[in-house]
């Protein structure tokens, strides 16, 4: 088994963040308090509960660009990527590879850092978030990065980003009951995916591969609205606002959305995983757990996700594809 989407916090990165950032760091502090997020021996002890279990490492959220300005974010990305590359090189029997982090508030440096991480550090892809400090990721300044990843033919890991300051109602200053996370992150991913397809991202770069976190978020369960519903795009928009629906998309929206890859990181929800498999197909869904978050520092996430997949009516080869073969092909 290869865990496609799980997280690590390098302590040198954490220390540097704490020295330079003026942003709230409660989410990062929470990650620092999880033993297996920062202690490799404790992580190995947990992993040993699951024979044959290995990982792809990605930097834990929040996004680097949230924590620092464009210059300091570049420094943080280098520290993070060097640290992840070092641990993967040191323990190849545990970690298949790592996903590079980028300073997305500095697009030109992001290009250079992605190239450095892939060519020099052997990163197996890059991680970006659903927005860049509130800016949509379908903006022209990010197209060169997508172009480069298409040329490398390596995947982009798409992770949601949304804080409690993103209120659920316009009349309130903050989101209550952690709705910003429980539902907001799924919404964030879904919006980013839809914006990317209407920007014609797969028409421009047919070889581009994007792994949308959390079983494709709301996209599979909204198939009807996004299929027949969006086939009538424009019918709900007044004539003087037609610029809001201008698109470079050359195929049905629902078909473009099926070009994404996704994972099984659903807190062990068999229904969510089944829905993702039915929407994306068996060859585009990869085993992931989001560890070490969740019960028992991540062991519950791993155990429940394996159990959910095993309880689905799948052939042995189909399970093999989900657990490791799809990812192996994606990262070569």
> How far apart are the C-alpha atoms of 179 and 308, rounded to whole Å?
25
Candidates 169, 170, 145, 167; CA nearest to 156 is 145
pLDDT on residue 184: 96
Compute the distance between CA of residue 143 and CA of residue 151 in angstroms, rounded to an integer: 12
Q: Which helix (H) or strand (E) holds 115?
A: helix 107-119
Give 15-38 as a DSSP string.
HHHHHH--S--HHHHHHHTSHHHH
DSSP H helices in 124-226: 143-152, 179-182, 184-198, 201-204, 223-224
Query: How many other C-beta atoms are found inside a 10 Å radius of the C-beta of residue 26?
Result: 10
Give the domain extent around 216.
2-330
Q: What does pLDDT average to in each consecutive run of 10 residues of the chain (332 residues)?
A: 97 96 91 96 97 97 96 96 98 98 98 98 98 97 98 98 95 97 97 98 97 98 95 91 92 97 96 98 97 87 96 97 97 94
Tell me the CA distances in angstroms from 169 to 175, 189, 217, 303, one per residue in order: 8, 19, 21, 36
How many domains does one find in the chain?
1
Three-class DSSP category at 51: coil
| Triad 301, 174, 272: Cα angle to 5° | 30
DSSP class per residue in 230-242: HHTTTTTS-GGGG
Cα–chain-centroid distance for residue 290?
A: 10
**Residue 301 confidence (pLDDT):** 93
> Given CA atoms 94, 298, 296, 82 in this order, what sign does their dihedral have?
positive
> Which neighbouring-strand residues pair with 3?
55
pLDDT of residue 8: 98
Long-range CB pairs of 303-310 (<8 Å, 24+ gap) are: 303/49, 303/50, 303/268, 304/267, 304/268, 305/264, 305/265, 305/266, 305/268, 305/273, 306/1, 306/50, 307/268, 308/264, 308/266, 308/268, 308/269, 308/270, 308/273, 309/264, 309/273
Handedness of CA 129, 133, 139, 141 (dihedral sign): negative
Do the Cβ atoms of 128 and 148 come closer than 8 Å?
A: no
CATH number of the domain to which 48 belongs: 3.20.20.140
Q: How far apart are CA 297 and CA 171, in angstroms?
A: 36
Sort residue 212 into left (φ over 0), alpha (ψ -120 to 50) or beta. Answer: beta
Do the Cβ atoms of 285 and 263 come closer than 8 Å? yes
Burial class (CB in 10 A: 0-12, 13-18, 19+), 171: exposed
- Give residue 297's pLDDT: 82
């Amino acid at each position: 088994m290869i865990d496609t989407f799980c997280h690590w916090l390098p302590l040198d990165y954490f220390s540097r963040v704490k020295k330079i950032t003026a942003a709230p760091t409660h989410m990062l502090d929470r990650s620092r308090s999880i033993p297996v997020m920062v202690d490799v021996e404790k992580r190995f002890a947990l992993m040993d509960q699951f024979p044959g279990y290995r990982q792809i490492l990605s930097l834990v959220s929040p996004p680097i660009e949230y924590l620092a300005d464009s210059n300091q974010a570049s420094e943080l990305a280098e520290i993070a990527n060097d640290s992840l590359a070092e641990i993967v090189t040191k323990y190849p029997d545990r970690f298949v590879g790592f996903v590079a982090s980028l300073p997305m508030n500095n697009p030109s440096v992001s290009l250079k850092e992605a190239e450095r991480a892939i060519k020099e550090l052997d990163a197996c892809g890059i991680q970006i978030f659903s927005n860049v400090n509130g800016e949509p990721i379908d903006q022209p300044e990010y197209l060169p990065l997508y172009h480069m990843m298409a040329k490398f033919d390596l995947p982009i890991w798409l992770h949601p980003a949304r804080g409690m300051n993103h209120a659920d109602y316009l009349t309130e200053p903050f989101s209550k009951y952690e709705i910003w996370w429980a539902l907001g992150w799924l919404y964030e991913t879904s919006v980013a995916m839809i914006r990317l397809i209407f920007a014609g991202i797969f028409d421009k770069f047919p070889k581009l591969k994007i792994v949308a976190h959390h079983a494709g978020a709301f996209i599979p369960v909204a198939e009807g609205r996004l299929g027949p519903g969006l086939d009538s795009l424009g019918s709900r928009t007044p004539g003087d606002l037609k610029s809001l629906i201008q698109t470079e998309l050359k195929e049905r929206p629902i078909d473009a959305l099926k070009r994404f890859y996704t994972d099984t990181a659903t807190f062990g929800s068999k229904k969510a995983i089944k829905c993702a498999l039915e929407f994306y197909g068996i060859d585009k869904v990869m085993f992931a757990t989001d560890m070490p978050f969740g019960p028992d520092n991540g062991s519950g996430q791993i155990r429940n996700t394996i159990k959910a997949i095993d309880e689905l009516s799948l052939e042995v080869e189909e399970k093999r594809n989900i657990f490791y073969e799809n990812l192996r092909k994606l990262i070569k």
